[in-house]
Amino acid sequence: MEKIEHATVRTNGINMHVASVGDGPDTVLFIHGFPELWYSWRHQMVSLAALGYRTVAPDLRGYGNTDAPPSVDSYTAFHVVGDLVGMLDALGIGRVFVVGHDWGAMIAWYLCLLRPDRVKALVNTSVAWFPRDPERKPVEKMRAMFGDDYYVCRFQEPGEAEEDFAKADPAKLFKLFLAGRDPSPPIVTKDVGFSGMTKLFEDHQVDLPSWLSEDDINFYAAQFSRTGFTGGLNYYRCWD
C-alpha cells in the first residue's frame, strides 16, 4: 500500500492541509463533507493511486489542520472554491477529476459552475445539483418543510450547536453522525439535543459498518476535540 503524504500549502489567504498519494498524469481531487476530513477518502485515494492516478484530498477551510477563519462570512462557496483553485495552482495541477460528498458535493458543483476550466469530470455522492430558488432562500425553504428542529436550522445560531456537541462524548457523537441508519430527515429537538441522542449508545451496542472501525471513530473524535465544530458549521450558517 502506498503511503499517503501530507503537506501544507498557502492558498487564498489561508494555510491548507493537503493529503496526497500517487504520481500519475491525471489527478483526482476528493472533497469531504460535514463532519469529515481528508481522512474520509483514504481508501479511495490509495486504490486509485494504485491504478495510476495522482490523488489529492484537502482538509477544507475550518477543518482539521487547515486554517479556520472566525467569520461566518468567510465560508461562502466563492471562498472555498477559491481555496481549491489556489491549492491546485500551488501543487502545479491543472484540470482534475472531482469527487465530492455531502458539503463536498455542494462545493464540487460550484467548482464546476465557477471554474469549469479546472474540471475534467465530476462524481458526486449524497447531494444532487439543485439550482438557486430566486423566491426563497435555502434555509428558509428547509425550515418551512421540516420545522425549526431540522438539523440545518438548529445549526444556524452561532455557538448553540457547539455548546450541545461539547456536552457529548466525542466518540459517541461520531458514531451518531457516521453510523446512523435512519433515512428520515434528521430532527433534533432542543430538549434532547445531539448530546442527548448520544446517550442511546450507553444502553445499546452500536454495530459499526465494515468500512468504519473504532480507530476511525477515535481519529475523527480526536481531531474535532482539538478544533471544535465551528468551521464546519459555518458552511451551514452562510448557506443563504
Mean pLDDT along residues 45-58: 97
Mean pLDDT along residues 25-29: 97
Rounded to whole angstroms, how far apart are CA atoms 162 and 87?
A: 29
Return the H-helix or E-strand segment holding 124.
Answer: strand 119-125
The fold of the 1-129 domain, in CATH, is: Rossmann fold (3.40.50)
* Residue range(s) in the chain whose domain bears CATH number 3.40.50.1820: 1-129
The pTM score is 0.95
Cell for 134? 430566486
Over residues 73-86, the pLDDT tens digits come to: 999 999 999 999 99
Orientation of helix 103-114 relative to helix 77-91, angle to 10°: 70
* Distances, alpha carbon 126 to alpha carbons 17, 65, 99, 164, in Å: 24, 25, 11, 25
pLDDT for the residue numbered 154: 96
Over residues 92-150, the pLDDT tens digits come to: 999 999 999 999 999 999 999 999 999 999 999 998 888 889 999 999 999 999 999 99
